[in-house]
Every structure is written in C-alpha cells, then in structure tokens.
Structure 1
C-alpha cells in the first residue's frame, strides 16, 4: 500500500540487481535515477501503480536488465528510441498506459526480446516491418491501439512467433497466410473490420480484386523487374540451401536418437525458456564447465513455483558431446535416489539462430562440487569452509549409497564410469549427490556380465580409472568401486591422485599403503586437523577409512569389495562417529 513518489535517492543503491514495486499506489513521474542503475540485471517491476508523465530517455541505461515491467500505470507520451539500448531485455511490458505516437522502429533492433506487450495504449501509424526481423520474438501483443495500414508480411516469416494479438485496431488489407497466421489460437485479430483474406478457417471476406488497368501495370512491372530479381534470388537460395544441407550433413549424425526423458512426468521446455531462466546464458550465471559443455544456474517456474535449477548445456562442436547427451538422458531416465542428482527434464531443439541445442535441466546444488571443498586453495576465488570429520564421513556414506543403488538396485544396473569429486555435488544440508552420467554404461543383464559399448580404454578421468582399463579390461561395477576408494583417500588426505608428488611409481594408493596401519595420521589432510580438537579421536577413523579405501582399490577387480559391503562399512564408521559427537556435546 505504498503511496507517493519513488525517492530520487534510490539511485544510490549501486548494487541493486532486482527491484519490484508492483501492486502499490505509487504516483508521480518515474525517477530517472532508477534507470541509471547499471547494476540492475534481473527485473525492474513498476507495474500496477499510478505513475504518470512519460517514459524518460534514461531507460536506455538499463543495458543489463532482463525483465522490464511498467504496465498498468498512467504513463503517456511517445516511446523513446533509447529503449533499443536495452539489448539484454527479454520481456518488455508497457501495456495498460497512454503512450501515443508510432512504435519506434528501433525496438526491432532488440534481438534478445522474447515478449513485447504494447496492448491498451494510444499508439498510431503502421506496425513496423522491422518487427518481423526479430527472430527470437515469441509473443507480440499490440491490441487496443489505433494502429492502421496493412499487417507487415514480414511477420509471417518469423519461425519463433507463436502468439500475435492485433485485435481492436484500425488495420486493413490482406491477412498473411503463413506462420503465426495459421495458428487459430495464437493469432487474434478481432475488431479490425477491414481485414480480408488469410486462411479459410479465419472466415474473413475475400480481398477485392484490382482493376484490369492496375493488373496490367502490375504485370508489366513483374515482367520487367520482379521476375529477373526473383530468378536471381531463387538461384542464390538454391546455392545457399545446398551449402546449408552439406554443412549439416557433415556436422550432424544421420540418425537422431530421441532422449529417454519423455512423458508427462517431465515438463517440456524450449530454448527460449532456458534462455530466459539463465539470463541469456550469461557468464554471471556460469557455475561450472566440463568435458562436453557448461552448467548455468537459472530460475524457472515449475509446478507453479519459482525454483533454482542447473542447466547443463552441451557443446555440440565438441566430439562425443551428442553421444554424451543421449547417454546421460538414458541413464537419468532410469534412476531415482536421494543421493543422485535430480533430473527435471531435457531439451533438444534449435536456438534463435536455428543451430542445434541440447541441454539437461537438473536440480540446483547450492554448495557446488566436492572438489572445491577438498582443495579450497585451488579455488581461491570461491572460498569455502573446511569440511569437518563428520561432514566427510556423511558425504562418503551418501556417495557410497548412490553407487550401491546404481550397481544393485536400479533396473537395468548402471556403471557410472566417471566417478570423481567434480561429479559429486552438495545440496541442501550438505547432502551429497552424484551427477554427470555422460559416460555411464547401462548393463544388459542383471548380473552385469555384458555391457553396452563396453570399450573401456577411454572411459573415465585419469587418476580415478582402475588399472585394468589401461589393459583394455571389461567395464564393470568394480571399476566404480576403485574410483570410490580413490575419492575416499582424496577426501581424507587432501591429495589429488594427480598431485605432483606422485611420480616414479608412487601413487595415491601406494602413498596410503606406506602409511597404513601405524602412520595413517602422517597422511591426513592438514585442513581436517585444523578443525578437529584431538588427534587421538581422528586416528581411529583415519585407520578405518584407509583400510576401507585400500580394500576398494585392490589391483584385481575380483578382489575388491562390492558397493553393498562398502555401504555397510561406511555406515558403521559414520554411526560410531555420530555417537562420539553426541557424547562430546553432552559432556560439554
């Protein structure tokens, strides 16, 4: 119920990213100071108030803004050309005001615009032809104005436009018959009494024929000028089409495999949806990079609520990326477990430039990858707290449970094939989730004897792959067990398997063997010691953890523990630690 004007001092909030003032009783002119805040990058919502006067030219200062909502106010005057400086805008709503004059042609240069709503104003003149050149525009609302002349034919060649409302204007002439104009639910034209033609289902009157003299004049023009031009354009089109088809034939596989994430349980999302959710895949939203692409943080409306998501975008120029996308979709479509990354849906379509686009939408993990927590010195730009003994044991128990589920409790069984700290993500309450199934292999039979695409020499990440893979051995669940053992040692020693100290035959496993059983405290992560009170208590846990890790990393696959046994051992160690923590808290 806020009243009165917005204070000019709002321009002092130099770090403001999002500002929402909607549904109040604010009045007076819009302060130009709020439009000078270059930090505004998400949303500025001034809708449903009583602001008056014009839209100041300072609006062009919102060059980073994604959503601008000023609908349902009392603004008037002409729309400023400075709007075109807002090149990051995806949605612009100015409906329900008293803007007059013509629609600025400069708006058509806003290439990222997905939604433009100018409904219920007093706009006059023609609909600019340039609006039809905005390839990414999905929704265009121009109803209840005083727009005149014919509908621009350029609008029918917009592949992205699926909603067009031009009703209750003064438009006349021929209605185009292609594109959005064939969509009976997406195209609204009521209240324009002089429109004619279009597809038959619109039930508009036929357009009047021209006089014979005009027809002859037009025929001469066509014969003398247009036909040669069309011939040249047609030849150029055929040549360009040939190059385009050849390029795509070389770039894309001949057979497109449909992902497994289909059905009603997975929401359908478009490139436009993900573009909006990630603020145009901005660098500020980038949370990680991998072998086959990048991961962006986004915000999407799902199940009528807004939530954070992770959008994994595949770099299709990278060899093996498309295959990784298909493999990950197949694997994620078969699994459900509290310690596996939650999949929301996938997207396989074209971007605004008609290039192939593939992405998977996942639950967002607020605490990021485990690797950043184990080696904070490497990621100094993103400092984190040091993991305690109990936190490390809980994470180890979580990821063991995830692998046990993949190996023994989902049908068909799955081998992860790329188990490492970078693929272990920490969610709410520091619960660990295993992700990145781009290299996962699905077992053909329950016993795990035969595998799909079982070539093992290139699967996994150096340092975490088992020794048998270097000898061309068969992919099997025991390989994941080996990787788990390496990760367990890394969690408690603070040493990566590719640490520079491991040379001349010394490996992380051999490093642990040399210390086990008597000197395990000599190899413990110094960071862990810095947050725990007594070395004596840690010693027994370090002994148990090292023993378990060495049992997982035995050279022969058949000598290693199964993941079900690993889970049992981890639960024992974790439970014992939990009891000690409770006793210590009770004593204090």
Structure 2
C-alpha cells in the first residue's frame, strides 16, 4: 500500500505513477493540493482495490484507463475540479463497493452502465452538472445500502418506479434537481430508509400515505416542490422537527401547524372559485380572441428582436419560455412584499412560476437605465457559456414586451433562502433586528466556494470570463450555506486570438463596478483583466475576516481596508478580526495562527495595488483548500 494522505503534496501526478508495482492494492492521495490531470498511466495499476484522490485540485477528465482497474472496491475522486463526462466503461468496475465523484463539475448524463456495478453500497454523484433522466438501472442496484446521493445537479424526468428495488438503502438524496411527476408508490418498499431528501424539484401530486409506515425514517425533506392536498398524519409526520414541507403552496393540514393552512380553509377557497366558473366560461372566449391577436403581434415582434439579437435565441433554445404575464403572476403584480433587492440595472423579486412551483428569484431589468440592456445581454452570454456548481443557476429568461408595448427583459434564477453574504457580514443593517452569525468555518467554506468559481471562470471556462463586479451582495447562499457567484451584468470575456472579432474590446469604457472593490488600475483606464477580479476577491476576503466594509466611514483620506489590515498584520491581527467568528473556539490563539493569519495573507496579496503582485485564482483556491483541511483537523467551528 502507498498512503500519502494529508501531506500538503503539490504539483501534478507524474505519469511514472504507472510504473509502481503491479501488486499495489491501496493508493491514498486524498487531502493534498495535487493539481493537473489524472495520468492515464494509472490504468496500469491493475491490482488496486482502493483509490482515494478526493479533496485535491485535480482537473481534466476521468481517464478511460480507469476502467482497466477491475479489482477496484473503493474509488473516490470527490471534491476536485474534474470536468467532462462519466464514461460508459465505468460499468466495467463490477467489484465497486463505493463510487464517490461528488463536488466536481462533471457534466453529461449518468451512464446506465453503472447498473452493472451490482456490489455498490455507496454511490455519490452530488454537486456536479449532470443532466438528463436518472437511469432506471441505478435503482436496480439492490446492494446500495449506505447512500445514494444525486443531489445538486440538473437531472430531469420522473423518479423511476425501480426505486423500490433499493430495499437495503439508508439514505436517498435527489434534491436540487429538475425532477417532475409523482413520488412512485414503490418507494414504500424501502423499509430501512432513514433519510430521504427530494426537496427543490418540480415533483407534484399527493404526499403518499405509505411514508407514515416507514418506521426507520428519521429525516424527510419534501420542501419546495408542487405537492398538493392534505399532509398525512402519523408516523414521521408526528415529529414536526423531522419533516420539512415548506414551499408547497397547495398543501393543507387537518391539524393546526405553523405555515400550513387548514384543509377546511382550502375547501372554502375552492368553493368560492367554483362560483366564479360560470362567469369565466362566458367571458373567456372573448378574452381569448383578444389575447390571440395580441399574441400574434408579440410573436412577430419577438422574431424581429431575435433576428437583431441571435445570441438570445441560442440562449433561450435550451429553456422553458415564459411570458411577461407569467412574471406578473409570479411576483403577485410586483408586490413590495416580494421585493428582495435592487441595483443599478433593475430589481429582484421572489416568486413562483406555474411550471416551477418552488420559489424563484426574478431579476427584472430597468431598460430605461443606461446600460441595462447591455447588462441583460452580458448575463445571457455569460450564463450560456459557463456552468459550475458555485455559479448561480439560471432557470429561464423572458425577453418580450410589457402591457404598454415597451421592451421587457427578465432572468429567472433559483431562489436562495439564506440571502446574500452582505446580510450575514453586516446583520446590523437588517430590519427587525435579525441576527446572523458566520462562524470561521463557514467563512472559509464561502471563501473557497467563491475562489473555485473564479478559478473556473478565469482558467477552466471554454471562453475565459471576468466577472467585474465581485462583492458580498453578489454572493448568494443556499440552505446549506453553499456560496454561489451571481450578477454577470458587467462580465467581460477575455479576448484571445482565437475568439477576437472586429468590434470587440477589452477597454474600460462604460464599466461600472462597485466602489471599494474596483481595482485601482481600472481608475487609470487600464484594460480589464482577471487580476481585477483577484483584487475584488482580496477585498471581499478581508471584509469577511474583519467584518468591515471597504466603504466604512473610517476609511477616508486615502485609507483603505487593505492598509487597515496590513498595519495590524501579523502581530496585532487580533485587533482587527471579527471577534464573533471566534466566540465558540476555546483554542482561539491556535486558530488565529493556523487559519486566520494565512487567510489574511491571501487577502492582502490579492488586494495589492499592482496587478503583477496578485496571485492567480488557481493558487488562491489551492491555499484556501489547505487552510480548510487544517481547520477541519482542528475542529474549527
């Protein structure tokens, strides 16, 4: 065996790894800082039974030669930067007990050939960019006992009835996808199931009664779907702390429960709706005729706009099209209660679309504001070319006309219930005295999420992209406090000799960043570059550590957050860090020495005045990942 885990190893895996003994059975390289691709020569180690390369910075595709390792029992490439697709030949690894590929940026479909791995006990493909239907073959692997996790992908279609074959499984998570249809009745055959999370999908129908009979079930999350009818009683539903059903607006309950209406109330509401049906049957034909005429006019106008903006057509082809009326309904006619943010180019509402019953965030562009139309186009272009687990996921778009015939543009995103990072760093600015506490561990994780996103945009995206407006309010947080970079309205593609076209420009003309985060060279009309994003990230990181905004009133007359922190670094760093993140750590001094000071060093180096002195985001993410490992070993909260 060769065990090199947790040794801070750096650099690439040499191709000579294939020259190791062909009798080698265990190879542990996890929790290092290894980068670069997996060499195909690894396929020479045909006696390997355990291969762990998780928690590194490995890039590229999974090499096809992995399928040569037919003695593998445990395989983990989790939490790296792998891309590409899972090859069908993965099904050749028939001895696998566990397959962990979670926390990468793997795309494409889940190969049905995984169904040939009939000894699997753990299958984790979560937090990737997988799409398409879930192959029914996956649910025929009756050996799955510990975990099936396909969450946080782009999977669609229904939940196959074959799920009933998983009679030994303890945990199923298929949350945060685009699944639709009903919960199959065969799920009731999973009698030892302890954890079931199907939240944040488009599932519908009644919540099945058989869930009350699953005596082993300890945690059930059905939230943010489109379920209707009465919430069952009995079984796990008697333990309100173990069940989540929020975000299903058509559910009711026979027992008073906070946030869910009584079923009798919904019946009365439906009765009133039925009394209006006769009037609607009379009025609707006339209204339909008028709408048909308006629809024809709008279609002609839309086609003309598409010809003028062909990139919008390409962008919308992959998405469900929605109308202006859909947006009006989703926001309850732009109700102030649904307003969650505003900016230079528009406003953001939360709401629910008919075809997407879980809550969404709807960004409506104020096209009368200079640059708003360009901002919409920039976001469309950026989101069409970039997909990463830490970039906000777009659901659909609307480019139409409003009720007055004026241009109307909107983008629809997944709603993030934990708001943005600004709210957590500066809770005193919130209404109602709401209090948010960000632990040091969470700050490290958020910093790493943002660093990974920027590294992808700068170094791994097909067309490298500069965000140009990184700041706390553009970092959104989901239920698990995973960070997502949003707002690409100022984004610019990096022009290379392969993609430059006549009329393209990298100049700063009309560029509007956010005061405090704009790199100093932009103020001298320098060309935008990835180093500008690095500067913004440095300021963001220093803000996360100190709890102070770069626009704090104390920073004036040439003073800056960078200078404020630099003067205290490293001996007096305790004087400037946000003390709330260290309140629960008994070994605060060791934490400051091994975690906080290294983080501050990164923030200072990223926010240097000269772009040449700033590191690349690949280097930054490598170093923050190392700090995360250290914090984990120290049990930092």
- TM-score, normalization: structure 2? 0.54
Relative to 1, partners in 2 of residues 1:399 and 1:319: Cα closer, same or farther, differing over 3 Å? same
**Residue in structure 2 matched with residue 299 of structure 1 by the alignment:** 352
Q: CA deviation at 1:261?
A: 5.6
**Residue in structure 2 matched with residue 225 of structure 1 by the alignment:** none
**Residue in structure 2 matched with residue 516 of structure 1 by the alignment:** 569
Relative to 1, partners in 2 of residues 1:487 and 1:298: Cα closer, same or farther, differing over 3 Å? same
335, 356, 378: which is aligned to 1:282?
335
Relative to 1, partners in 2 of residues 1:378 and 1:474: Cα closer, same or farther, differing over 3 Å? same
Distance 2:500 2:591 in 1: 40
Relative to 1, partners in 2 of residues 1:558 and 1:350: Cα closer, same or farther, differing over 3 Å? same
Relative to 1, partners in 2 of residues 1:279 and 1:576: Cα closer, same or farther, differing over 3 Å? same
CA contact (8 A) 1:301 1:307 kept: no
SS at match of 1:572: helix
368, 372, 377: which is aligned to 2:423?
372
Q: CA deviation at 1:260?
A: 5.8
Relative to 1, partners in 2 of residues 1:521 and 1:448: Cα closer, same or farther, differing over 3 Å? farther
SS at match of 2:635: helix
Q: CA deviation at 1:315?
A: 0.8
Q: How does 1:23-42 map to 2 (within 5 A)?
A: none
Relative to 1, partners in 2 of residues 1:354 and 1:160: Cα closer, same or farther, differing over 3 Å? farther
CA contact (8 A) 1:455 1:475 kept: yes
| Pair 1:567 & 2:621 matched | yes
580, 584, 587: which is aligned to 2:634?
580
345, 352, 364: which is aligned to 1:313?
364
334, 342, 349: which is aligned to 2:393?
342
SS at match of 1:574: helix
Q: CA deviation at 1:484?
A: 0.3
SS at match of 2:367: coil
Q: CA deviation at 1:393?
A: 0.3
Distance 2:497 2:624 in 1: 25
Distance 1:257 1:557 in 2: 36
| Pair 1:392 & 2:443 matched | yes
CA contact (8 A) 1:521 1:542 kept: no
Relative to 1, partners in 2 of residues 1:380 and 1:569: Cα closer, same or farther, differing over 3 Å? same
**Residue in structure 1 matched with residue 53 of structure 2 by the alignment:** none
Q: CA deviation at 1:316?
A: 1.1
| Pair 1:493 & 2:539 matched | no
Distance 2:431 2:332 in 1: 26
CA contact (8 A) 1:412 1:446 kept: no
**Residue in structure 2 matched with residue 460 of structure 1 by the alignment:** 513
SS at match of 1:430: coil
**Residue in structure 1 matched with residue 469 of structure 2 by the alignment:** 418
**Residue in structure 1 matched with residue 557 of structure 2 by the alignment:** 504
Structure 2: gaps (5+ residues): 1-205, 207-226, 232-247, 253-265
CA deviation profile, 1:449-472 (whole Å, cap 9, x unmatched): 999442226331110011101111
SS at match of 1:262: helix
Distance 2:499 2:613 in 1: 16
CA deviation profile, 1:133-190 (whole Å, cap 9, x unmatched): xxxxxxx26xxxxxxxxxx6x874445777xxxxxxxxxxxxxxx999xxxxxxxxxx
Relative to 1, partners in 2 of residues 1:532 and 1:456: Cα closer, same or farther, differing over 3 Å? farther
CA contact (8 A) 2:495 2:506 kept: no
| Pair 1:542 & 2:593 matched | no
**Residue in structure 2 matched with residue 356 of structure 1 by the alignment:** 407
RMSD value, Cα: 3.6
SS at match of 2:429: coil
Distance 1:547 1:396 in 2: 14
Q: CA deviation at 1:264?
A: 4.5
Q: CA deviation at 1:432?
A: 0.2
CA contact (8 A) 2:421 2:475 kept: yes
CA contact (8 A) 1:374 1:494 kept: yes
Relative to 1, partners in 2 of residues 1:43 and 1:372: Cα closer, same or farther, differing over 3 Å? closer
CA contact (8 A) 2:315 2:381 kept: no
Q: CA deviation at 1:262?
A: 3.1
CA contact (8 A) 1:157 1:179 kept: no
Distance 1:374 1:365 in 2: 16
CA deviation profile, 1:482-505 (whole Å, cap 9, x unmatched): 000000000000111110111222
SS at match of 2:632: helix
- TM-score, normalization: structure 1? 0.58
Distance 1:496 1:426 in 2: 19
**Residue in structure 2 matched with residue 409 of structure 1 by the alignment:** 460
User: Bigger radius of gyration, 1 or 2?
Assistant: 1
Distance 1:310 1:445 in 2: 34
Distance 1:410 1:43 in 2: 38
| Pair 1:439 & 2:493 matched | no
SS at match of 2:361: strand
Q: CA deviation at 1:546?
A: 1.0
Q: CA deviation at 1:530?
A: 3.5
Q: How does 1:16-415 map to 2 (within 5 A)?
A: 94=275, 103=279, 117-118=280-281, 140=284, 156-158=289-291, 258-259=311-312, 262-302=315-355, 306-381=357-432, 383-415=434-466
| Higher alpha-carbon deviation: 281-290 or 472-481 | 281-290
Distance 1:315 1:263 in 2: 20
| Equivalent residues, number | 375
Distance 1:454 1:264 in 2: 28
